[in-house]
């Protein structure tokens, strides 16, 4: 199996410009510690240019990503960010359908689907997030919820498009809580997602798609997650704000 691991930092609504520059430089300087792993930094959109400039100054191959975007390329959408704007700033990735977008900002699978198609059309690689709440897990509805989210978010994608995307499984109960899914719990859902992708495209395409786990990933739990056959990387929140922690996690996937 030859999937290149991918570890992305979702900075969420944190840091300021000086700190964003500092963190980027620190990660770029030590990038060689996890040379085999693809790294992506997803700063707040307003700081994407700052981070992109710092990466370019360091001649770094660390990629830049957005945390969200609108599905239209331009227009009267006050306060929104268009896909070509992210591309213009050098973004190659965009996180879509993060649970915070789904629960706090009302994003449905249909919206995530429109955004996923728009990202692909703009040449961005979407990192599509799915995951169940604690109530859903305790009600034995994890499989049903994740199935609905994957099928809804990726509806109508061609096999060629499915092959390009990244999926992040982020159980909502593990995000920012310090409660990480056990490697077995995560692997089980990752295997389910790969089966769903095979149904949407083909087993050969599904075998190429990278699946990240997200939710309280730290340097000390990353290796056990990385050892699972269907976990190809991590989408990291809190720990991505410290170069040591982010690189420590990346190294576990090397
Ligand atoms: P934490 O790593 O802070 O739990 O956040 C995970 C997350 O939401 C990444 O997108």
- Residue 178 CA to ligand 1 center (angstroms) comes to 10
Q: For residue range 85-104, what is the model confidence (pLDDT) as tens digits?
A: 999 999 999 999 999 999 99
- Residue 199 CA to ligand 1 center (angstroms) comes to 28
- Residue 75 CA to ligand 1 center (angstroms) comes to 31
Q: What's the rounded mean pLDDT across residues 136-153?
A: 98
Q: Which atom of ligand 1 is nearest the CA belonging to 175?
A: 4
Does 1 score more than 70 pLDDT? no
Residue 188 and residue 165 in contact, taking contact as beta carbons nearer than 8 Å: no
- Say what the pLDDT of residue 241 is: 98
Q: How many percent of the chain have pLDDT more than 90?
A: 99
**CATH of the domain spanning 6-252, picked from 3.40.50.720, 3.40.630.10, 3.40.1260.10, 3.20.20.70:** 3.20.20.70
Q: Which residues line ligand 1 (CB under 6 A)?
A: 10, 98, 170, 175-176, 214-217, 235-239
215-218 CB contacts, 8 Å cutoff, 24+ apart? 215/131, 215/170, 215/171, 215/172, 215/173, 215/174, 215/175, 215/177, 215/179, 215/180, 215/181, 216/174, 216/175, 216/176, 216/177, 216/178, 216/179, 216/180, 217/180, 217/249, 218/180, 218/245, 218/248, 218/249
pTM of the predicted model as reported, rounded to 2 decimal places: 0.98
Q: Which atom of ligand 1 is nearest the CA belonging to 178?
A: 4
Going by CA atoms, what residue is nearest to atom 7 of ligand 1? 237
- Say what the pLDDT of residue 246 is: 98
Q: For residue range 38-55, what is the model confidence (pLDDT) as tens digits?
A: 999 999 999 999 999 999
Catalytic residues: 98, 170
- Say what the pLDDT of residue 250 is: 98
- In degrees and rounded to multiples of 5, residue 145 shows phi and psi of -65, -50
Kindly report the average pLDDT of the chain as a whole number.
97
């Amino acid at each position: 199996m030859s999937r290149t691991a991918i570890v992305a930092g979702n900075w969420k609504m944190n840091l300021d410009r000086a700190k964003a520059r500092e963190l980027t430089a620190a990660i770029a300087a030590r990038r060689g510690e996890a040379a085999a792993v693809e790294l992506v930094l997803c700063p707040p959109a307003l700081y994407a240019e700052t981070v992109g400039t710092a990466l370019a100054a360091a001649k770094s191959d660390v990629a830049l990503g957005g945390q969200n975007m609108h599905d239209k390329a331009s227009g009267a959408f006050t306060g929104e960010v268009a896909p070509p704007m992210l591309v213009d700033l050098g973004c190659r990735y965009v996180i879509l359908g993060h649970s915070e977008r789904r629960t706090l900002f009302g994003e449905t699978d249909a919206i995530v689907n429109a955004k996923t198609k728009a990202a692909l059309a703009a040449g961005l690689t979407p990192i599509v997030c799915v995951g169940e709440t604690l109530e859903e897990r305790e009600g034995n509805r994890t499989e049903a919820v994740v199935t609905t989210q994957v099928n809804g978010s990726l509806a109508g994608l061609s096999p060629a498009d499915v092959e390009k995307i990244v999926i992040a499984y982020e159980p909502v109960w593990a995000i920012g809580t310090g409660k990480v899914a056990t490697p077995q719990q995560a692997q089980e859902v990752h295997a389910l997602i790969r089966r769903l992708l095979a149904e949407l495209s083909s087993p050969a395409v599904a075998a190429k798609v990278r699946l990240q786990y997200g939710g309280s990933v730290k340097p000390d739990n990353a290796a056990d997650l990385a050892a699972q056959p269907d976990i190809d990387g991590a989408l990291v929140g809190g720990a991505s704000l410290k170069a040591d922690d982010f690189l420590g996690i990346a190294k576990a996937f090397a």
